[in-house]
Amino acid sequence: MIHHKEKMISPEMVTLDGISYPCYRCNTLVVGTGAAGFNAADTLYSLGQEDVFLLTEGIGMGTSRNTGSDKQTYYKLTLAGDGSDSVQEMAQTLFDGGSMHGDIALVEAAMSARCFFKLVNLGVPFPHNRMGEYVGYKTDHDPRQRATSCGPLTSKYMTEGLERSVMQKDIPIFSGYRVVELVTDGEGTEKKVAGLIAIDAATGEQVLFCATGIIYATGGPSAIYGASVYPQSQTCATGAALAAGAKGINVTESQYGIASIGFRWNLSGTYQQVIPTYISTNPDGSDAREFLDDYFANTGEMLDAIFLKGYQWPFDPRKLGRGGSSIVDMAVFVETKEKGRRVFLDFRRNPQRAEKDGKLDFSLLGEETRTYLERSGAVQDTPIARLRKMNPLAYDLYKNHKIDLEQEPLEIAVCAQHNNGGLVGNIWWESNLSHLFPVGEVNGTFGVYRPGGTALNSTQVGSTRAAQYIAQNLRQPPIPAKAFLEKAAPAVRRTAQFIRSVSTSLDRPEKNSPKTLRQRYQQRMDLCGAFLRNLPQVEQAINDCREDLMRLQTETKVSGVRELIDAFINRDILYTQLTYLSAIREYIQQGGKSRGSYLIGERDLSRCAQQGIAVELDNGAFSGKVCEVALDVENLQCSFSWEPVRPIPKGEDWFENVYNAFLRHEVIG
């Protein structure tokens, strides 16, 4: 489906091996309709580059529109109060997270106010006081109060505001197209992207898109995991870029945390601070029991750990000491993945050992927990009453999705939530593969630790920077359709062969549906490539992944277009898993220890309550480096390059010099 009310957009038809294919051409093709993709197209048009198309599997399918938390955070420069802050200081905070390039940190900080106020002008309801100050609060890894929020649906409001602006400009949107291959031109350092091949979800046919530049806003590697808070409607497209020669960076660094799994949502912040009860059951719901008591020396430590899980939501190996908040994640993992049980949060009642006369016994709470709840007015008898007092929108969110936390428990798991790594990009978000601009979560902007909310800022900064660069430096029209077909021919033939292979011999017993195969792939990543990692399991998983890729076409059977697209998604998942698992192995083999949001090595739970869980921490040993990874798709091998982080630039602020360079068009690019 093509959304464009002014005119019919007709493709040019090109023929290869007797088969005709539609080919659409534009200056810039934006792939993805989340907050990053919509902003890229909107900004390009505003900067004068109106020859832009948007390409998407579905306008409403991405993470930006479908995922959040109790109070989804947007991180930007301080814009209220009398506290000190500066672009350099914010950049330093980002840089101090480790394994992040300083020049990118500076760009993220410098552009944050510009991008934030664009969203404000588009009607995104960020709160301000009577004087017009956009007040903030402190989020994780944040020394200031730079965070702001519209509530649980911040990124949804952002995406909707940007979509309205795009629709007003009547930018063509191709909806219902799955990217399967990027088409490139040239070799080595001269290699650049020239377009891509997509599958039309309505027909199952190949459609060619030729473009001078591609802004790749496809989101994080969502489908490589089974236990995931990414929406089920969003699936990977990272593998297509890796297969085309785009490098990855810091792909070892993801965040994991407790989330609901029916309706997928992060259970951070208020959901934990109200201290719900953690319950484990058999798969059929029988044998319900509270299990966290087993992991803590006393009830007070358990209550404080649950409360702190709100602040410290991502799993963090530094918080596995006695009474640490990440012990909660470990306990949930043991119950679900190792014991095969189900785990729920029950907001209707307090933990049994914490009740006194039907109320929460506040005398058991540590000072930080008790003070926070008292200052918030959250001293009600039950977790649900405290939640409705502190954050009624967090309660309403589930109610709006037909889950009433006053009436039923909420099933949870430890889930993949965000990839701090991704594809390589420079300070204009251009990949090593020229003319390809990964923006949003698919770009590996961040390193090990980052303040909460920086991801939303990055969607806007990266897409704005890419648009600026393209609008000034890549103004040439796309190459002719016939010339593009010459470059695309190998990819078109590979795609046609893949379609033929998975669409034949449906009755062969060794073949499986794409969804059945995907469950196996995802279970593998959950067990050894998520927040618990050890080298023997990772090495076995790499071998299994490589074998799955070699068997993919002969092992897959499809019936209909939907399953055909799922088969291509599986290939993308496997390319991505192979790259990510190989990078995890590389990090461990280089001597890397636990850091970020994962624990490396075996763990001993036998003395957890009294001593915590022993862990060997990285302690910053690799913080001054980034790991770049390249996938050799022919041999299914990865190569690595460890590069020192670039420092934060200094001294580019003498006005006359900047002004004259800007006039000479020397700044952008």
Express each pLDDT in 570-601 by its tens digit.
Answer: 999 999 999 999 999 999 999 999 999 999 99
Domain stops at, among 417, 438, 455: 417
Residues 407 and 551 in one domain: no
Domain's final residue, options 417, 442, 476: 417
Domain annotation covers residue 76? no
Shared-domain flag, residues 513 and 631? yes
Averaged over 41-47, what is the pLDDT?
98
Question: What pLDDT shows up at residue 508?
Answer: 65
Q: Are residues 412 and 531 in the same domain?
A: no
* Residue 530 belongs to some domain of the structure: yes
On whether residue 595 sits in a domain, the answer given is: yes
What are the distances in angstroms from CA 202 to CA 31, 175, 448, 558, 565? 18, 10, 41, 15, 11
User: Taking the mean position of all CA atoms in its chain, how far away is CA 13?
Assistant: 36
Q: pLDDT tens digit string along 372-410?
A: 999 999 999 999 999 999 999 999 999 999 999 999 999
Q: What is the mean pLDDT of the chain?
A: 95
**What pLDDT, on a 0 to 100 scale, did the predictor assign at position 2?**
63
Are 262 and 409 found together in one domain? yes
pLDDT band at 1 (very low <50, low <70, confident <90, very high): low
Q: Residue 571: what residue type?
A: R
CATH number, position 573: 1.20.58.100
| pLDDT of 107 above 60 | yes
Own/partner long-range contacts of 349-352 (Cβ < 8 Å, ≥24 apart): 349/277, 349/382, 349/383, 350/275, 350/277, 350/381, 350/382, 350/383, 351/275, 351/277, 351/278, 351/290, 351/292, 351/293, 351/299, 351/302, 351/303, 351/306, 352/277, 352/290
What is the secondary structure of 584-649 as a DSSP string? Answer: HHHHHHTT--BBTTBEES----TTHHHH-----B-TTTTTTEEEEEEEETTTTEEEEEEEEPPPPP
In a domain, 129, yes or no: no
255-268 tens-digit pLDDT: 999 999 999 999 99
SS3 110: helix
From first CA to last CA, the distance across the chain in angstroms is 35
For residue 619, the enclosing domain spans 509-644
Those residues with Cβ within 8 angstroms of residue 575's Cβ, 6 or more apart along the chain or in another chain? 238, 239, 240, 242, 243, 549, 631, 633
Asked whether residue 96 carries a pLDDT value surpassing 60, the answer given is: yes
Mean pLDDT of 87-101: 97
Summarize pLDDT for 462-519 with one digit per residue, the tens: 999 999 999 999 999 999 999 999 999 999 999 999 999 998 755 666 689 999 999 9
Of the candidates 194, 236, 180, 56, which has an alpha carbon nearest to the alpha carbon of residue 494? 180
Residue 442, pLDDT above cutoff 80: yes
What would the mean pLDDT of 122-137 be, rounded to a whole number?
A: 96
User: Is residue 596 included in any domain, yes or no?
Assistant: yes
Average pLDDT of the residues in 643-658:
91
pTM: 0.96
409 and 522 housed in the same domain: no
- DSSP of 526-549: HHHSSSEE-HHHHHHHHHHHHHHH
* Domain finish residue from 417, 446, 473: 417
Specify whether 385 is located in the same domain as 531.
Answer: no
Residue 506 pLDDT:
55
- Is residue 651's pLDDT more than 80? no
In a domain, 88, yes or no: no
Domain assignment of residue 622, yes or no: yes
Q: What would the pLDDT profile of 521-576 be if each residue is shown by its tens digit?
A: 999 999 999 999 999 999 999 999 999 999 999 999 999 999 999 999 999 999 99
404 and 282 within one domain: yes
pLDDT digits (tens, 9 = 90+) for 138-179: 888 889 999 999 999 999 999 999 999 999 999 999 999 999
What is the model's pLDDT at position 638? 98
Say if residue 78's pLDDT is above 80. yes
Residue 370: CB partners within 8 Å, gap ≥ 6? 362
Percent of the chain with pLDDT over 90: 91
pLDDT at 532: 96
pLDDT for res 509: 64
Structure tokens at 146: 């730079």
According to DSSP, residue 443 is labeled B
523 and 395 fall within a common domain: no
In a domain, 121, yes or no: no
Statement to judge: residues 412 and 515 lie in one domain: no
582 near 572, Cβ under 8 Å? no
Q: How many domains does the chain have?
A: 2
Q: Are 515 and 408 contained in the same domain?
A: no
Render pLDDT for 606-623 as a digit per residue (tens, 0 to 9). 999 999 999 999 999 999
Per residue in 13-39, pLDDT (tens digit) is 999 999 999 999 999 999 999 999 999
What are the residues whose beta carbons fall under 8 Å from the beta carbon of 390, sequence distance 6 or more? 270, 273, 274, 376, 377, 378
Residue type, 543: N
Q: Please determine, for residue 61, whether its predicted confidence score (pLDDT) is greater than 80.
A: yes
Question: Token digits for 379?
Answer: 């001293």
Query: Do 383 and 524 belong together in one domain?
Result: no
- 515 and 409 housed in the same domain: no
Q: Which residues does 121 contact at the CB level (< 8 Å), separation at least 6?
A: none
- Three-class secondary structure of residue 215 per DSSP: strand
What are the distances in angstroms from CA 297 to CA 324, 604, 606? 11, 16, 12
